[in-house]
Amino acid sequence: MTAVLESPAAVDLRVPWRNSFAALGPAFFTRLPSQPLPDPYLVGLNQALAHELGFDPALLASPDGVAAFTGNVPIAGSDTLASVYSGHQFGVWAGQLGDGRALLLGEAQTPAGPQELQLKGSGRTPYSRMGDGRAVLRSSIREYLGSEAMHGLGIPTTRALLVTGSDAPVRREEVETSAVVTRVSPSFVRFGHFEHFSANGRIDELRTLADYVIDRFYPDARTTDRFAGNAYAAFLEAVSERTAAMVAQWQAVGFCHGVMNTDNMSILGLTIDYGPFQFLDAFVPNHICNHSDEQGRYAYNRQPNVAYWNVFCLGQALLPLIGDQELALAALESYKAVFPREMEMRMRAKLGLADDQEGDRELVESVLQLLAKDRVDYTIFWRRLSHHAAGSGAEPVRDLFLDRESFGAWLRLYEARFAQQEGGREAAGLRMLRTNPKYVLRNHLCEIAIRQAKLKDFSEVDALLALVQSPCDEHPAHEDKAGFPPDWAQHIEISCSS
Ligand code: AMP
Ligand code: MG
């Protein structure tokens, strides 16, 4: 008798799969299975997202679910592959990159529409270069909580369904343990996918990819009468607009991405690839959150210009399809129009101003200058201002400033402007409390959750997830997490190493 090795039974999520990216053909990816990790365990499960997708949370949390989302057991209907892309890293053409440690499972047809599921940290691929294909527990928890924090703030982002861990060692600056995050997005196509085919002169594939993304996500680009019916120019314009609107939201909430390389830019204008990201503590406009970014290319106040630089790279990549440089440049102009408009709109909302009046921009700029001068905590300032607007006294917000005289002068201008609004002060104050979060995922909060998770206590990961999923609500049991960061938070160094 010969023993037959049976492959493990596939886990069935009980949703139909239609893998449209896989249908593009082998020029775009390499099919490969995931590589298992020993003795996986659940680190965090996003129950809310599981429900939105129509997945049974109990199945996901079961040994079968954990095995499947670690890559140890196949998922029925999936068609696993790693996609190829290129990109500009820190302003320099880096050539071919690709999913070096991510595996696309396919596209589940969920109640929330078609959603791609991707494992990150699932082993080496043909695009791993020198990397090990793995992700560490620390950075996987940061991505899991970071992406849900952005979603909770209403900012377009990829999402995270669950994190599993394994004690298999991974070598970074020190030896850490492995983890796999399951990310969810309608598409994981990046600017870098287009750059890849364009730079290699593979125009047929470039067109196939552009047509695929337009048909699925930008159908209006085919029907608009802008750009003389040039759908590729209209597509570029729409991506530029979405990117501008996304970055305006980053700026307004004080989010630093940290690695805005073109391969980390979603073609859907979603925040993607959470590495050394940070929500600002003190308002320091040139704050650099990525310890590896010595030049400060991706400093907080440079993000809007960098995003424009990135859409410009996308424009260059699409030029063979657009066929006319003037049209491409005209399409990119939309970024310059949309970004300031969105930024003003977001900042007016933070101030509780429902309409647009002359002088509002100066009001915003002058308060940001005061915040910067005194390095005031960005989140706490807006929250206290909201409470003040809703009717409580001015002391708590004034106390944040060293230069109280200058702030007092600003506050008088603001109050005069605020008082002109119809609808009453209380309603505007309540609007501000729905806009200016009480809780953001500060680095030190993540750090505490990570330290405990390394000791196999995942309760803080769960607690933070619940908090960041409703960041404007009061959570009395977690009042401490809405306070100033401790002194040690200044010394947390987050680099590209993940
Ligand atoms: P990132 O800076 O995380 O966006 O990664 C840039 C590129 O490096 C992408 O192609 C990643 O897939 C790849 N990469 C990053 N870390 C690893 C790793 N540990 N193993 C394999 N590839 C990696
Ligand atoms: Mg990346």
Q: Is the minimum distance from the CB of 95 to ligand 1 under 6 angstroms?
A: no
DSSP-derived pairing of the beta strands 278-279 and 255-256: antiparallel
Alpha-carbon radius of gyration of the chain: 23
What are the extents of the domains in the chain? 32-186, 192-349, 367-435, 443-491
Q: What is d(CA 263, CA 91) in angstroms, rounded to the nearest whole number? A: 11
Q: Which ligand is nearest to the CA of 35?
A: 1
- What is the value of pTM for the model shown? 0.97
Q: How remote is the CA of residue 104 from the centroid of ligand 2, in Å?
A: 14
Q: Is the minimum distance from the CB of 134 to ligand 1 under 6 angstroms?
A: yes
Q: How far is CA 237 from CA 233, 284, 318, in A?
A: 6, 32, 11
Among residues 439, 449, 440, 349, the alpha carbon closest in space to that of 140 is found at: 449
Q: How remote is the CA of residue 111 from the centroid of ligand 2, in Å?
A: 28
Task: Tell the residue number behind the tokens 């066929």, with chain if given.
Answer: 323
Residues less than 5 Å from ion ligand 2, measured at CB: 264, 273
Q: How remote is the CA of residue 275 from the centroid of ligand 2, in Å?
A: 8
Of the candidates 64, 79, 99, 263, the residue annotated as catalytic is 263
Q: Is the minimum distance from the CB of 132 to ligand 1 under 6 angstroms?
A: yes
Residues facing 169 on adjacent strands: 177
Tokens read off for 158: 């990829």
Give yes or no: 263 in active site: yes
320 class by beta-carbon count within 10 Å (0-12 exposed, 13-18 middle, 19+ buried): middle
In this structure, the residue with its CA closest to atom 7 of ligand 1 is 97
Q: What is d(CA 196, CA 263) in angstroms, rounded to the nearest whole number? A: 10
Q: Which ligand is nearest to the CA of 170?
A: 1
Task: Tell the residue number behind the tokens 């997005």, with chain if given.
Answer: 185
Q: Is the minimum distance from the CB of 101 to ligand 1 under 6 angstroms?
A: yes
What residues contact 126, with CB distance under 8 A and at least 6 apart? Answer: 30, 32, 82, 98
Q: Which ligand is nearest to the CA of 140?
A: 1
Q: Is the minimum distance from the CB of 99 to ligand 1 under 6 angstroms?
A: yes
Of 37, 124, 128, which is best to mutate to test ligand 1, by the most ligand atoms within 8 angstroms of its C-beta?
Answer: 128
- For 157-197, the DSSP string reads B-EEEEEEEEEEEEESSSEEEEEEEEEEES---BHHHHHHH
Q: What is the pLDDT of residue 8?
A: 72
φ, ψ at 381 (rounded to 5°) = -55, -50
Q: What is the pLDDT of residue 4?
A: 57
Please identify every stretch of the chain with a pLDDT value under 70, giving residue numbers as ranges.
Answer: 1-7
Q: What is the pLDDT of residue 270?
A: 99
Q: Is the minimum distance from the CB of 94 to ligand 1 under 6 angstroms?
A: no
Tokens read off for 220: 């209006």
Q: What is the pLDDT of residue 1?
A: 44
Q: Is the minimum distance from the CB of 374 to ligand 1 under 6 angstroms?
A: no
